[in-house]
């Protein structure tokens, strides 16, 4: 099973390297996530995709932490 999980992680990383493929993968994961009981491999692909997105944002942000660069986590400062 671990070999299968590694293959999925590698395929997910490959798909995220292209914006078009990343969008397709995002839609696929979103559809799978709306299932009442997503399987383990779907959850693994979702986690890998999330890590890749956060890592990419961290690289673009320079020294900022990934969570701080995530638009969903922005909190207005007073």
Q: What is the pTM of this model?
A: 0.32
**Res 46: pLDDT:** 78
Q: What is the DSSP string of 6-52?
A: HHHHHHHHHHHTSHHHHHHHHHHHHHHHTSSS--HHHHHHHHHHHHH
Q: Flag residues of the chain having pLDDT under 70.
A: 1, 33, 35-38, 57-78
**Res 68: pLDDT:** 47
**Res 17: pLDDT:** 77
**Res 1: pLDDT:** 66
- Specify whether the CB–CB gap between 49 and 41 falls below 8 A: no
**Res 77: pLDDT:** 54
**Res 66: pLDDT:** 44
């Amino acid at each position: 099973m671990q070999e299968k999980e590694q293959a999925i992680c590698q395929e997910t990383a490959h798909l995220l390297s292209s914006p078009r493929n990343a969008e397709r993968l995002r839609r696929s994961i979103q559809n799978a996530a709306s299932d009442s009981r997503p399987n383990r491999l779907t959850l693994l692909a979702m986690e890998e995709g999330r890590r890749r997105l956060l890592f990419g944002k961290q690289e673009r942000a320079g020294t900022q932490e990934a969570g701080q660069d995530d638009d969903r986590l922005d909190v207005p400062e007073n």
